[in-house]
Structure 1
């Protein structure tokens, strides 16, 4: 029996008290990105690499505690400095495909800060609707980005 693909789309917005150049730097600098994206509490990072350019890859191998190995493989499709990113990524859990996504991050000036608008369309490959978990995980990542901007230049 074929496992059905479940398609879902969501958008989240978060305003940061930093200009677009600072937010973009936190998205594009390998050291900064690894810190807020991969090194969350309870996560073990087995490997991380970022080649930030159109056609470049970002690869993360990680586990949550003693959980199964997970991967996040990302390719950048469009980059407009200080304005937007468009990328596609796939995730696996324990070697099994979990999802493939197309996502964008738009940076919009907002008062003295920057509004980040994140939109993702996901194909969940395990037949389950994982959209609530994905949305919550993304919300947590946007909060981790806020901490990065508060704590580091």
Structure 2
């Protein structure tokens, strides 16, 4: 089987207002125990490798098998962290061992009257058979922000 070699790009920005203190939203990213509670896919994933190193230059790894489905692997490197302001990462995704994408993602935290505004902006490059996966990435990111909201509630 020949794989068509191609690239596609996708960008999106998602905003969520959470009715909790900004520090609480920040800690959901910065504290390993808290991040495990909302980021790891919940009951739909059999968890595999996990690594958490929240510092500039540090790496996170989250690997899991979707029940009845593929193995997903996320590897991120923190490139910028300003406490309570922003987190910037570059990250790669694999599906069943095939490198599917590389992305730059920024997470911004803003104090608002009602609590905290969170902004996730991302630019991804998708490889070969995953070239059309941009909309799925955005949908997956929406799901993560929903999971974060549920955790914070």
TM-score grouping bracket, smaller chain normalisation: over 0.9
> CA–CA distance in 2 between the matches of 1:143 and 1:41?
15
Tell whether 2:137 aligns with 1:134.
yes
> CA–CA distance in 2 between the matches of 1:45 and 1:102?
24
Q: 1:108 aligns with which of 96, 103, 110?
A: 110
SS at match of 2:107: strand
Contact 1:30–1:49 under 8 Å retained in 2: no
Q: Which runs of 5+ in 2 are unaligned?
A: none
Alignment of 1:30-109 (within 5 A): 30-109=32-111
SS at match of 1:76: strand
**Deviations 1:112-131, CA, capped at 9 Å, x for gaps:** 31110100000001252211
State how many pairs are aligned: 150
Q: Quote the offset at 1:39 in angstroms.
A: 3.5
> CA–CA distance in 2 between the matches of 1:111 and 1:50?
32
Aligned to 1:125: 127
> CA–CA distance in 2 between the matches of 1:141 and 1:39?
8
> CA–CA distance in 2 between the matches of 1:40 and 1:10?
24
Q: Quote the offset at 1:21 in angstroms.
A: 0.8
How well do the aligned residues superpose, as a CA RMSD in angstroms? 1.2
Q: Which runs of 5+ in 1 are unaligned?
A: none
> CA–CA distance in 1 between the matches of 2:140 and 2:83?
25
